[in-house]
Amino acid sequence: MAKVRVHNFSISLDGYGAGPDQSLDEPLGVGGEAFHEWIFRTRGGAEMLGREGGDEGLDDEIFRRGFEGIGSWILGRNMFGPIRGEWGDSDWSGWWGDEPPYHCDVFVLTHHERAPLPMAGGTTFHFVTDGIEAALERAFASAGGQDVRLGGGVSTIQQYVRAGLVDEMHVAIAAVFLGDGERLFDGLAGPLAGYERTLRVGDGAAAHLMLTKPGS
């Protein structure tokens, strides 16, 4: 049965999954790049960015696993870009340039309608205004029997966890403190209480917490 999965979602040691004050210059919020550094160091992360080199090992293995068997994605609007409110005449098409790394349908949660946005490499962004369940229904239909990946951000993951819709969740804990921003686990102690928890620590730049819903 197809699953809803979270992968490679990075947090700081003090639990923040995004820094404050997202902007064009700070797409992950102020200080956010520091706890995503483990991704940039892997060979898979380098390939995703069109670079050569990168480290192999546990971090790279886990990073790559997050793309296996994924047929579609769901993103919160802030993961798509820094624009707030009505789209207006904005031609914003995401942080990733002409060819985003998804190569499938991506469903963006928003309160404001916008026409689908096809991109090079097979990615099409669809803007969903009628809630998380509607976005998930469309994502499963598009995935063709494969899994749906939640790309974030913090608010989006929290909404799906509270609704009991997340089957697997991988959180990478980076050895940095942030001090401000959005905490991933705020209010989730109850919804996540029954999940199986596995922690893996290699010789890389992050510890990896795996949360699996019973029966998944």
Q: How many residues does the chain have?
A: 216
Residue 21 near residue 182, CB atoms below 8 Å? no
Output phi, psi for 67, to 5 deg. -110, -5
Range of 151's domain?
4-20+31-82+97-212
**Does residue 157 belong to any structural domain of this protein?**
yes
pLDDT of residue 90: 85
Q: Is the pLDDT of residue 124 over 90?
A: yes
Q: What pLDDT score does 135 carry?
A: 98
Give the tokens for residue 153. 């951000």
Mean residue pLDDT across the chain: 94
CATH number reported for the structural domain that contains residue 134 in this entry: 3.40.430.10
- Give the bridge partners for 200, in sequence order: 208
pLDDT value for 216:
82
How many structural domains comprise the chain?
1
Task: Give me the amino acid identity at 120.
Answer: A
User: Would you call 64 helix, strand, or coil by DSSP?
Assistant: helix
Give a yes or no: residue 45 inside a domain: yes
Q: What is the mean pLDDT of residues 19-27?
A: 89
- Residue 89 counted as domain residue: no
Phi, psi of 164 (to 5 degrees): 75, 25
Q: Which pLDDT does position 215 carry in this prediction?
A: 83
Burial level of 150, CB count in 10 A (0-12/13-18/19+)? buried
pLDDT tens digit sequence for 60-79: 999 999 999 999 999 999 99
